[in-house]
Amino acid sequence: MSLFSRPLRATCSVALLLPAFLAGCAGDKQPTKFAPLRYDYLSVMHLNAATLNIEDATLQNPVVGDIGNRAPTPPVQALRQMAQDRLVATGSSGTAQFVIDRASILHQAGGVLAGQMDVHLVLLNSGGTQAARAEAHVSQTLRPDLSKGDADSPANLYELTNDMMQRMNVEFEYQIRNTLKDWMTDAGGTPVGSAIQSQSLDAPGTKSSKAASTAVPAAAVPAAATGVTSTPALTTPAITTPEVTTPTITTPTVTVPTVSTPNVSVPDATSATTLPENAPVSETSGSSAATSEGSSSGSTTTGNAASAKTSEPDPVFPAGEDDDASSSTTTKARSPAPGVLQLPKK
């Protein structure tokens, strides 16, 4: 007779096989393989430097409680891979130094994972003096899905690291193209503009992957996402003073005509008037001669009449004119003196 009944044996068998079955189901849900984090499909940033150095400063400044090294791709390794894939030195002198200041993941209370990444890029001239600097900072928290296992499972750590690296690629490129735009070149070493090339951060082959990158202005990235506030460069417009041409004023030459004073021949007023010897002598002539004593012609005529009157008696008035007759203005004709008229000579 059997010690145990058939139902009891079946129950015991199920109880023994159930833990193994549950363990197998849980193992199927947790991924065991993770794709490496690479960024060579993103745009490359060429720096005006001869060499590029990558330095891990987290070794000298470890963070207490950091569990980032348990991730399939530790944050430090992901940041180093980003610098190797996206930074290229194409200059002839100087050094570009990429420094990882912090790359940690902390398991906080309540099962929350808190990650933080801090990096900076320094450009040194040939003498070793710092010429330019840019910084990028990213911090993120994740409340893990416990269906994937514990909060600090590899799958959760990988998810948080991947999310932080996507944000770091955007922030780091923005800082480089804005703060170090004067130190960027193209593949041949020629300085380029400050346009930011934006493209999908997903790995090639995914649904959201884009084949070509598009240029977007630097202002498209919000200022809150930047770790360092940089003052934009102000471009002063060139003011050109217009050239004023002064016209040449020519003074016209005015020709003044020469005014010549004509020579006017004035007859001599003192020339004597020649009278014929037998011309009758009128009283008017005598009166005019007596009135105009200043005229030389009147004086000569008066003198001749006076001498004629004195030398020859008047046949009408032998005794001469009285005073009343001499003052009369009426012209009187007189007969010539006897023996005065002469016949013309043939």
List pLDDT tens digits, range 38-54: 999 999 999 999 999 99
Confidence band for 212, pLDDT divided at 50, 70 and 90: very low
Which has the closest alpha carbon to 203: 38, 76, 34?
38
* Token duo for residue 73: 């791709």
Does residue 33 form part of some domain?
no
Give the pLDDT confidence score for residue 230 in this predicted structure: 46
Does residue 174 form part of some domain?
yes
Number of domains the chain contains: 1
Is residue 58 within 8 A of residue 101, CB to CB? The reply is yes
Give the pLDDT confidence score for residue 293 in this predicted structure: 44
Does residue 339 form part of some domain?
no
76 vs 104: CA distance, rounded Å:
8
Provide the domain limits for residue 148.
Answer: 45-180
119-133, 219-233, 257-271: least confident range = 219-233
Is residue 39 within 8 A of residue 87, CB to CB? The reply is no
Does residue 102 form part of some domain?
yes
Does residue 79 form part of some domain?
yes
Does residue 135 form part of some domain?
yes
High-pLDDT (> 90) share of the chain, %: 38
Angle, helices 154-179 vs 75-86, to 10°: value is 40
Does residue 275 form part of some domain?
no
Q: Describe the strand order of the beta sheet including 184-185 as a list of residue ranges.
A: 87-89, 45-47, 184-185
Whole-number average pLDDT of the chain: 72
Q: What are phi and psi of 140, to 5 degrees?
A: -155, 150
| Mean pLDDT, range 3-29, rounded to an integer | 50
User: What CATH number should be reported for the domain holding residue 79?
Assistant: 3.30.160
